[in-house]
């Protein structure tokens, strides 16, 4: 991953510092008799990384689906930069919200670069006739799109694999590619659904750095994750969903110390839980692994 390049700070999705990017009010989603999400309020401001945690089945993904137009909430309203979101996912993407999925959804038989180009379609102005006639406007737009897609691949550390088929990438890199594709729509808000699921500790660390780099480029982030170390390292604010309702919201220390959250989700710390010394040992081992496998930021990890 490179942190010094590429996402344009004047992207259409970027927002003024401190601006409320996402404002979900009273969001409720019922499926027949089941209320999966109940009266949830949540805001995300520009410059923020916000976490959404909770037990399996708590309603986290359903809430994401309500934010991205996949579901129309039974009650409530979702605003992006003050405007009520349209009830169609491609319009939500065009408005400035992009997402990744819990189960990776890449085009397996397309190249890495083509997958990112697909993500750019909401930002290309060339229409159907231009594409069919392949006029000068089309070629210019296509060249610009390819350049932008390559910048994004550079940003996530996949530029050297641009021509590989997506299905041949290792799992961790497929997740990075999903993020690059989401960024291709130039969002102001990125929703990540379990971005580190199935990753080893080293890949999780790299993802953490990538999310910080995305935030530093002016894109607000809302992330669902079960890896609590990742969440509490990363997030400015964390909201806890339990049985569809928001139980607690606050900074990492507040949420980790909340007895209701401990009882409903986190559980009591073990008596012999790793102390500072043990954490330092794990971090030193990870740092050593980083240098021996040449997985420093900006470098390809050729495992």
Ligand X SMILES: Nc1ncnc2c1ncn2[C@@H]1O[C@H](COP(=O)(O)OP(=O)(O)OP(=O)(O)O)[C@@H](O)[C@H]1O
Point out which residues bind ligand X (CB under 6 A): 31, 34, 36, 54, 56-62, 102
* φ and ψ at residue 117, rounded to 5 degrees: -60, -35
For the bound state, the minimum distance from the C-beta of residue 177 to ligand X, rounded and expressed in Å, comes to: 21
* φ and ψ at residue 111, rounded to 5 degrees: -75, 165
Q: CA-to-CA distance for 208 and 251, rounded, in angstroms?
A: 17
Residue 44 or 184 with smaller CB distance to ligand X: 44
For the bound state, the minimum distance from the C-beta of residue 226 to ligand X, rounded and expressed in Å, comes to: 7
* φ and ψ at residue 222, rounded to 5 degrees: -120, 125
For the bound state, the minimum distance from the C-beta of residue 71 to ligand X, rounded and expressed in Å, comes to: 8
Residue 94 or 228 with smaller CB distance to ligand X: 228
For the bound state, the minimum distance from the C-beta of residue 249 to ligand X, rounded and expressed in Å, comes to: 16
DSSP string, 185-207: T--SEEEEESTTTT--HHHHHHH
Bridge partners, residue 221, by sequence = 49, 190
Residue 54 or 218 with smaller CB distance to ligand X: 54
Residue 245 or 286 with smaller CB distance to ligand X: 245
Q: What are the distances in angstroms from CA 275 to CA 35, 265, 289?
A: 40, 21, 21
Residue 154 or 193 with smaller CB distance to ligand X: 193
For the bound state, the minimum distance from the C-beta of residue 239 to ligand X, rounded and expressed in Å, comes to: 12
Q: CA-to-CA distance for 260 and 216, rounded, in angstroms?
A: 33
């Amino acid at each position: 991953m490179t942190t010094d390049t590429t996402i344009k700070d004047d992207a259409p999705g970027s927002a003024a510092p401190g601006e409320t990017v996402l404002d979900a009010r009273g969001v409720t989603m019922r499926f027949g008799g089941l209320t999966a999400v109940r009266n949830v309020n949540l805001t995300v401001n520009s410059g923020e990384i916000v976490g959404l945690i909770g037990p399996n089945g708590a309603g986290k993904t359903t809430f994401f689906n309500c934010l991205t137009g996949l579901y129309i909430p039974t009650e409530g309203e979702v605003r992006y930069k003050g405007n009520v979101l349209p009830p169609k996912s491609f319009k939500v993407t065009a408005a400035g919200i992009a997402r990744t999925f819990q189960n990776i959804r890449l085009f397996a038989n397309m190249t890495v670069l083509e997958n990112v180009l697909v993500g750019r379609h909401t930002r290309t102005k060339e229409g159907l006739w231009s594409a069919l006639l392949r006029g000068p406007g089309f070629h210019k737009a296509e060249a610009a799109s390819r350049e932008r897609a390559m910048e994004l691949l550079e940003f996530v550390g996949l530029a050297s694999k641009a021509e590989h088929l997506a299905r041949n990438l290792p799992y961790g890199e497929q997740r990075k590619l999903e993020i690059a594709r989401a960024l291709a729509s130039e969002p102001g808000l990125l929703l990540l659904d379990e971005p580190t699921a199935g990753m080893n500790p080293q890949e999780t660390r790299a993802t953490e750095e990538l999310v910080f780099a995305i935030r530093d480029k002016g894109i607000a982030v809302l992330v669902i994750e079960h890896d609590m170390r990742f969440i509490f390292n990363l997030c400015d604010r964390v909201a806890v969903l339990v049985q569809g309702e928001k139980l607690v919201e606050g900074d990492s220390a507040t949420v980790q110390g909340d007895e209701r959250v401990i009882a409903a989700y986190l559980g009591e710390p073990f008596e012999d839980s790793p102390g500072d010394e043990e954490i330092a040992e794990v971090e030193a081992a990870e740092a050593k692994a980083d240098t021996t496998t040449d997985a420093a930021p900006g470098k390809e990890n050729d495992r």
